[in-house]
A and B are shown apart, each in its own frame.
Chain A
Amino acid sequence: MQNTIKVERAILNITQDELARLIGVSRQTINSIEANRYVPSTVLALKLSKLFNKPVNDFFILGEND
């Protein structure tokens, strides 16, 4: 699973810490998601979707191995 959370975060001009606080997780979790080390739950993905005002498919992309 690939994602463009970092790009979306840059568009909103917010830090990892601010994004973490907005969706109620730790900064390290945001870092893990951005580095593709962790695939978030549907709830978290929908929270991000609401925040970025975009469908989940726009910033989460299935990889070849998924």
Chain B
Amino acid sequence: MDCERQRFNKIINFRLPHKFMSIGIAIAAVSIITMFIRAFVLEGDTLWLKELAKKGLLVGMLIMSISRDREEDEKTMLLRSQSYAIAFVVGVVYALVMPYIELGVSNVVNSGGEVYKDLGDFQVLSFMLLIQLMFYHNLKRYR
């Protein structure tokens, strides 16, 4: 029982060293630049590059999210868990509401409109990670 609890605590408290924050930022930045280059410069079948950039952005943001702060203490750990909670709730609301907003907008813009379609995993995950990072850094700033 204690052994399992210790294992859970190990997983919960897992953080990458602070230097990974820069690595995460670099991966996310390269992915975003790649997305722009693919969209505006490259021609031909580059769908694989789009998928790779999407995965790269998610990995970069995840690394940023689980990297330790330079001064990590109990207060920053509390703020981090608060930001995860906020991101989870906002992410679920976003996933529920956004398809209807997109449907409404497309019906207004195009007279025929489009059929209802759910959000993709990339859109939901990137939104949740973005909200988490944004809230964490804002909560830290105004702590």
Q: Is A2 an interface residue (CB 8 A)?
A: no
Residues B71-106 near A (CB distance < 8 A): 71, 73-76, 78
Q: How far is the CB of A2 from chain B (nearest CB, A)?
A: 18
> How many chain A residues touch B (Cβ–Cβ < 8 Å)?
12
Contacting residues, chain A, for B10 (C-beta < 8 A): none
Residues A7-61 near B (CB distance < 8 A): 24-26, 28-29, 32, 37-38, 40-41, 43-44
**SS of A interface (majority):** loop
Contacting residues, chain B, for A38 (C-beta < 8 A): 75, 78, 143
Contacting residues, chain B, for A24 (C-beta < 8 A): 73
Q: How far is the CA of A32 from the CA of B78 in the complex (A)?
A: 13
> How many chain B residues touch A (Cβ–Cβ < 8 Å)?
8
Residue on A nearest B76 in the bound complex, by CB = A26
Q: How far is the CA of A25 from the CA of B75 in the complex (A)?
A: 8
Interface pair B143/A44, CB less than 8 Å apart: no
Residue on A nearest B73 in the bound complex, by CB = A25
Q: How far is the CA of A28 from the CA of B75 in the complex (A)?
A: 9
Q: How far is the CB of B78 from chain A (nearest CB, A)?
A: 8
Interface pair A37/B74, CB less than 8 Å apart: no
Q: How far is the CA of A24 from the CA of B76 in the complex (A)?
A: 13
Interface pair B73/A37, CB less than 8 Å apart: no
